[in-house]
Every structure is written in C-alpha cells, then in structure tokens.
Structure 1
Amino acid sequence: MTPPATLGDHQRPPRQLDRNLGELLQELRVMQTGVQILTGFLLTVPFTERFHDLTAVQHRLYLGILLGAVITTCTIVAPVCYHRLLFRQGERDWLVRAAHLCCLGGILGLGVVSAAVVYLVFDVVLGGSAAPIAAAAVALAFIALWAAVPFTLRDRER
C-alpha cells in the first residue's frame, strides 16, 4: 500500500476541497440573489418620474451605489467563472482560496451597498439627519450579525 502523498501548506485532500468549494458556491448563490434583486431595482430607478427631482448630490450617490452593486455582483459571480475556466485543470486549491476571498468581498460589498441604499432612501424621503442615522444603524446591524456574532462564538469555543 502506498503512503498518502504529503500535502503542502496550502493543499488539502480532494474531497475536502470539493466540499469546501460546494459550500462556498452555495453561499455565493444566496448572496447573489440578494445582490441581483438590489441591482435590478437600482437599474429601474432612473426611469421613474421622481428621479429627476433628486439633487445633484443624490444623483451622484445613486450612481456610486449602482456601481457598488454591479461590482459586488461581479465579485460574487467571479468564482463561477473561475470554476468554469479552470475546470479539470488541477487548480481546485487555488479556486477554493479565490472563492473564499470573493465571498468575503461580496459580503463586504453587500453590506456597504445596503447601508448606502438606506442612506439614499432616507435622504430622499426624510432628509436631514435621518439618513446618516438610519445608514449607521443598518451598518451596525450588519457588523453585529455578520461579524461580531460569529467571532464571539468562535472565540468562546476556544
């Protein structure tokens, strides 16, 4: 019987890589749905009657949010492209690491874009100091639920 090959620092067994990639792609699918719905909504906004009533600053903010949503979409979909282009090329370990980074970037992008959308909507509807307060509350909720909770549980387990 041949001993198992020695794995380098960044290499994992093929089954673990397959499982990790499958889990990452499933997580990206969940995020992709939310980002695509948000991006689709943002793409329709300029075609509404009220869009022209926005201030120049609100127009620029809207365009920044739209670009953020499109870049987040690109980041979330990138691992699917990587997988398709590198299929059976022996790059599964690189693919899992790249997909992990894209997933983290997508999470960050989704949180930023969501808080920015809340800022813009509150600014249009209520104006004044309501927008930064609402956006900060949303950002804190994302940070608490997406970062503080898992890090607290992880540290507690140690």
Structure 2
Amino acid sequence: MDTSNSKAAGRPGPETRDDGRRETESERADRRWTELIQEVRVAQTGVQILFGFLLTVVFTPRFTELSDTDRTIYIVTVLLGSATTGALIGPVSFHRVVSGRKIKPQAVVWASRLTFVGLILLLCTLTTALLLILRVATHDSVVPWLVAGVVAWYLLCWFVLPAWARHRYTTAD
C-alpha cells in the first residue's frame, strides 16, 4: 500500500493511529514523552524540597531528643525520600542513555513505569514524614487517624479518581 496516497487522502497510513490525532507512532511517542516530563517536573519539585528538608533535620538540636521510634520513622522517611527522588529522576536519565537509539516508544513506557513507582514512593514518603511531624508536634493518640485520613485523600486524588475517570470515559476500541 502506498502510504503517501492514503495520508494525502486524509486516511491513516499503516504508521498512523486513528485516534483522532492523526499522528505517527514517533509523533505519539514525542507527545507522550513531553507530557510525561511535564508531569515529572511537578512531582520532582515537591520531592526535592521535601527531601532537602529531611536531610537537614538530623542536624537540628532537637533531633537528639527524638525517641527511638521517631528516629526509626525518620530514617525510613529519608530512605523513602531518596528512593522517590531516584524513581522520579529516572526518566531523565533513561532518556539520556537511550537518546538517538530510535526506541522512544519503549523509553516512554519505561519512564512512565518509573514515574508511577515514584508516585507510590512519594505517597509512602509523605505518609511517614507526616507521621513523624505529627508525632513530634502533638504526641496525641489521634495522629494515626489523621495520617490515615490524609493517606485516604492522597489515594482518592492520585489513584481512585483517575481510575474512575479512565473507566468512566474510556471507550472500548
């Protein structure tokens, strides 16, 4: 089949997806990559600020007053923050290493997976950071319930609502 004729006639060629965008696989990968990097930039900024703050806590005078449990929560939080940073910076490194190898569609898939893992790790990092802060600030038995409420909110905003929208508004091909 002559792809130039089908494209000139406005019909999708063998490389073109007919999802309303009329883009080739390469164009789709470029668009998805750009969208993904924009999403990662938003998450990275928050993670970098949180992680930077976490790294300074150990050098404050009050750190030595923390209970063993609170120190353990702090260490877990720092490790999670580090893992989150790695996962969310991973797509940039992945792109740089495979750039020019003509595997952008596959790079987008892997970078997307790293980003999703980064979001799960971010959920864990924020949860443990909130737990530590509220434990130190209040010493109240309601802290686990407050943290659980915030985690439920994160889950709703980050995963439940998008999954519902995907199910509700995606048509079967």
TM-score above 0.5, yes or no? yes
TM-score (norm 1): 0.90
Q: Tell me the residue number matched to 2:138.
A: 126
**Count of residues paired in the alignment:** 154
Cα deviation code 1:89-133 (max 9, x no counterpart): 112121100111011111111111111111111111112423211
- Please report how far the alpha carbon of residue 43 of structure 1 lies from its aligned counterpart in structure 2 after TM superposition: 0.4
> Does structure 2 retain, via aligned residues, the 8 Å contact 1:118–1:134?
no
1:5 Cα shift? 5.1
Cα distance in 1 for partners of 2:59, 2:78 equals 14
Which structure has more relative contact order (CA 8 Å, sep 6+)? It is: 1
Q: Which residue of 1 aligns with 2:158?
A: 146
Q: Is the 8 A contact 1:35 1:110 kept in 2?
A: yes
Q: Tell whether 2:2 aligns with 1:2.
A: yes
Out of 88, 100, 109, the position equivalent to 1:88 is 100
Q: Deviations over 1:4-56 (max 9, x none)?
A: 5569xxxx710000000110011011100000000000000011111110011
User: What does residue 113 of structure 1 align with?
Assistant: 125
Residue 18 (str. 1) matches residue 23 (str. 2) = no
The amino acid of 1:19's aligned partner reads R
Structure 1 residue ranges, 4+ long, deviating more than 6 angstroms after superposition: none
8 Å Cα contact 1:122/1:131 also seen in 2: yes
The equivalent residue for 1:33 is: 45
What residue ranges of structure 2 are gaps of 5+ in the alignment?
4-12, 17-23
Secondary structure in structure 1 of the residue aligned to 2:136: helix
**What residue identity is the alignment partner of 2:125?**
V
**Partner AA of 1:84 in structure 2:** R
Question: What does residue 82 of structure 2 align with?
Answer: 70
Uncovered stretches (5+) of structure 1, i.e. residues with no partner: none
Specify which of 27, 34, 48 is matched with residue 60 of structure 2.
48
> RMSD in angstroms over aligned alpha carbons?
1.7
Verify the 8 A CA contact 2:47 2:81 in the aligned structure 1: yes
Post-superposition Cα deviations, 1:69-98, rounded to whole Å, max 9, x if no partner, equal 010000000110111111101121211001
